[in-house]
Amino acid sequence: MTAAVVTKAPVVAAPAKRARNPYVQGLLTPRGITGLIVVGLVVLLGLAAPLLTSYAPTFQTSNALLQPSGEHPLGTDEIGRDLWSRVLFGIRTDLIVVVSAVPLGALAGCLLALVSVASRWADVLVQRLFDVVLAFPGLILGLTVTAVLGAGTSTVIVVIAVVEAPAFGRMLRGAILSHREREYALAARVGGAGPARLLVRHILPNAADPLVVQIAVSLSIAVIVEGAMSFIGIGVRPPEPSLGSIVSGSVMHLQDHPIYAIGPLVAISAFVLGLNLLAEALNKGVRR
Amino acid sequence: MTVTIDKPAEVRAAIPLLAAHDLRVVFDSARGPVHAVRGVDLDLAAGEMLGIVGESGSGKSTTALALARMLPPAGRITGGSVLLDGDTDLVAASEAALTGVRGRRIGMVFQDPMTSLNPLLTVRRQLDEALRAHGFGDRGARRARSIELLELVGIPGARLRGYPHQFSGGMRQRVMIALALANRPDVLIADEPTTALDPTVQAQILELLDTLRRELGTAVLLITHNMGVVAERCDRVAVMYGGRVVEQGPVAEVLSAPRHPYTAGLLRAVPRLDTPAGTRLAGIPGTPPDLALPVLGCAFANRCTAAVDRCRTEQPDLAPVTDTARTACWVPSTEASAHPLEPIVRRAPDPTSPVLEVSGVSKTFRSRGRPAVSALTDVDLVLYPGETLGVVGESGSGKSTLARAIVGIHKPDRGVIRVAGKGRLAREVQMVFQDPYASLNPRMTVGDIVADPLHAQHIGTPLERRARVLELLERVGLDPAVASRFPRDFSGGQRQRIGIARALAPAPSVLICDEAVSALDVSVQAQVVNLLAELQADLGLALLFIAHDLAVVRSISHRIVVLREGRVVETGPADDLVAHPQDPYTKALLAAVPSPVPAAMRAAEAA
């Protein structure tokens, strides 16, 4: 290109502000840090379970319903198993369940969202499917699925995935539809981008923000769903410990042996609270 | 009384109705305190209309809000005084005292008539509430007063029962003004009251404000970015830059003989209808100061051509330059700066074969539960290589639908759009969008954004694309090093340059600019318009320049098409169309464009 310089001097951008990832920015707030510490502590207890106890969670000592002692920090249950050990391994079970179920649900929901933005009639089908899932209370759905698949850890995972999928699906569908009409997306179309490039290169990176927040929300819901299913006996099967099944076992002894229930309940509450704090912090960061 | 007064001698003795002295406002932001207003002196006499002009970030709106102590929570007044009647200091007043002042003594009208009325309440309820808040009479009296107020602002009293959504934008702004006037305030602060409105409606609202001032004696503080509005309606003007008033005085004096280089620059940047077509707009190079950083000396110094060393170290205060005008400049120009009109480089279009042909295009939008909207009806136009075709029209005229139909975003119901040339539409026709903040993907670097059409269309090797991006960035006046930055680091004008570079990437033969400069401040708008004109002259682009501002369109176009409600009402060479409009609608549009030359001065010139 020849002569005719456009402006006198090239315009230089303002000094770059420290460009920080919005998630990181959200997490580095008092709320985010508290959430990280609480969740981190619970996860650490679960991961390090074998190192923190000398009893296997299913090992039966001869002493049932012991009060807390140096030997058994949370006492023992009705058939003499060490509760400290059961709570730690229960956290472990919960971790396995929620960490496999939530991404599964997210994946299913997102794939369905992509199908539904691609075609109009698929959209109608997918949305009605989501309506059906959402119309069932979680536990009823859990019972139905258990009736088909039988009780067990994998059933809990399937139920959580099914319950969580619509939230991800609707959220991603809405975000794609709104981002598709923004000027930058129109600009990409004018520039010659086909539907695939438009979606992958332009829309998804911008539409994904709320999903990250939803993952944190869904994890906390998943902990509660697992607890509820195991509590009514259609979840993780004994003798394998899970937080829900320990609470279930403690109900008979709430009067005479309250310490039995406290361990698993504290773990569930801390886990859910921490995840909600993380979700809120991420949300703040994303919105800025 | 320490308030400085600079009014004609006969009122000098009088105490100003509202006087701000050394007003300072700081906003808390993630980047630290932003000194949005840095010592503003203003005074407003009864029955006077004072204009505050300035570009975005100049602190004019913040000043307006601070006067009524209505700053958002992040902002606070850190110094100075605002005296009402010369004795009540609003800065020190209690919240209870302020409640009595707002509405009763000071009324406010905001920019967006769409959001400043409560959509759930009828106009009657809203007026009634405003009256009741200040204990106005009983129900019957308030109702009578409400009808009177509506009629005062030119709305039939029968529409009292209407909800805001039943009113048009201009009508809502009238309702806002009626609300602000409900308790007969002495001062009306109007913050960009006509910016969201079409030019013909803008003229009506300004006329209304003027009438009210004359008939009710209400003093009006009119905040605007539009020099023309100030020239036509205000008695005095205060020009703000970087959080300070840089020049203040009678409109005729300030606008015809600006003393501050910024005022002079701003006036040169405004496109006008009374200069020869093809006159180059003079943009002010550079960008406004970042008020989160300390400002040393005069805030304008680094964009000022007259700046001397002292400008960079010592802050000038407002000082009298004549009996009536004051300016804050160490080197004020002493006489009316006659600035030479410089023609833009234009080249004659090549009228042999059109590069773009639109014939008989119609488009109707249908959505469930709403009447169908005919956005375009039977539109014809041709565009020749090297030609700039301006398209003007108010909102709802179908301008954007036309642009989107041409680039293939909307499929027309009827008609044909033909683009001459080699092949794919996306290679031949590119577009620059309106919103510099929404039209760049925030997750991509500038380099990736500019290269995107090349990637999408598989043009060139990675190395060639890289070279092309650097060349384009330089071409639009950006440092090629910015390719690795993200859009958030750039100002509106710079982002628009990035958008232009992206549009130029596949070397199109037609460039469509859909309101591409409307969102920019005039000094930046002028830079971008000049850039477009130069690119066209150099590259032989055909330019379809769509805007609602007739003056901007005329400054760059060879021919102009006027759209109204989806139909072409008039088309012709730019100068002819402006000088001898045929269609009554074109005439109305032309009449509505306020000229930055004060009426008094024009009369003097004509004599």
- Three-state DSSP string of B210-252: HHHHHHHCCEEEEEECCHHHHHHHCCEEEEEECCEEEEEEEHH
Q: How far is CA B510 from CA A127, A152, A192, in A?
A: 42, 65, 15
Chain centroid, CA B343 distance in Å: 24
Domain residue extents for chain B: 9-105+185-327, 353-421+509-607, 438-508
Backbone φ/ψ region at B22: left (φ over 0), alpha (ψ -120 to 50), beta: left
Tens of pLDDT, residue by residue over A16-60, are: 444 567 788 888 889 999 999 999 999 999 999 989 888 888 888
CATH architecture, domain defined by B353-421+509-607? 3-Layer(aba) Sandwich (3.40)
| CATH number of the structural domain B9-105+185-327 | 3.40.50.300
How far apart are the C-alpha atoms of B561 and B32, rounded to whole Å? 48
N- to C-terminal Cα distance for chain A?
42
Estimate to the nearest angstrom the gap between the alpha carbon of B455 and the chain centroid.
Answer: 36
Question: Given an 8 Å threshold on Cβ–Cβ distance, is A190 in contact with B409?
Answer: yes
- Smallest Cα–Cα separation from B508: which of B405, B436, B432? B432
Q: Which of B513, B507, B500 is nearest to B383 (CA)?
A: B513
Contact A19 B488 (CB under 8 A): yes
Gap between the Cα atoms of B328 and B318, Å rounded: 4
Structure-block tokens of residue B473:
């960035």
Instruction: Give the rounded percent of residues in chain A with a pLDDT score beyond 90.
Output: 60
Cβ–Cβ under 8 Å, residues B6 and B248:
yes
Q: A17 vs B408: CB contact, 8 Å cut-off?
A: no
**Window 13-42 of B, Cβ < 8 Å to A:** 31
Residues of B in Cβ contact (< 8 Å) with A11:
287, 477-479, 493-494, 497
* List of chain B residues whose C-beta atoms are within 8 Å of the C-beta of residue A1: 471, 475, 538
What pLDDT score was predicted for residue B424?
A: 59
Measure in Å the smallest separation between the Cα of A241 and chain B Cα atoms: 45
- Alpha-carbon gap, residue B477 to B530, rounded angstroms: 11
Candidates A190, A204, A284, partner chain B, best to mutate (most B CBs within 10 A): A190
Same fold, B9-105+185-327 and B353-421+509-607: yes
Residue A192 to residue B426, Cβ atoms within 8 A: yes
Angstrom distances, CA of residue A229 to CA of A134, A137, A168, A232: 17, 12, 22, 5
Closest by CA to B431, choosing from B375, B505, B520, is: B505
Q: What averages of pLDDT result for each successive group of 10 residues across chain B (607 residues)?
A: 44 74 90 90 92 90 92 91 90 89 90 84 91 87 92 88 88 90 91 84 88 90 90 92 93 88 88 76 82 87 86 89 88 62 67 88 84 88 92 88 91 89 72 92 94 93 94 92 90 92 93 91 88 89 91 90 93 90 91 74 55
Residues with Cβ within 8 Å of A112's Cβ and at least 6 positions away in sequence, in order, are A126, A129, A130, A165, A169
| Predicted pLDDT of residue A26 | 85
Residues pairing with B107 in the sheet: B188
- Parse chain A into domains and list their residue ranges: 23-48+74-287
Would you state the structure tokens that stand for residue A161, as one six-digit string? 């995935």
Fold category of A23-48+74-287 in CATH: MetI-like fold (1.10.3720)
Q: Token pair for residue B372?
A: 């169908």
Question: Best interface-test mutation with A: which of B452, B468, B473 has the largest number of A CBs within 10 A?
Answer: B452
d(CA B147, CA B160): 7
What per-residue confidence (pLDDT) applies to B2? 42
Q: pLDDT tens digits for A152-194?
A: 899 999 999 999 999 999 999 999 999 999 999 999 999 989 8
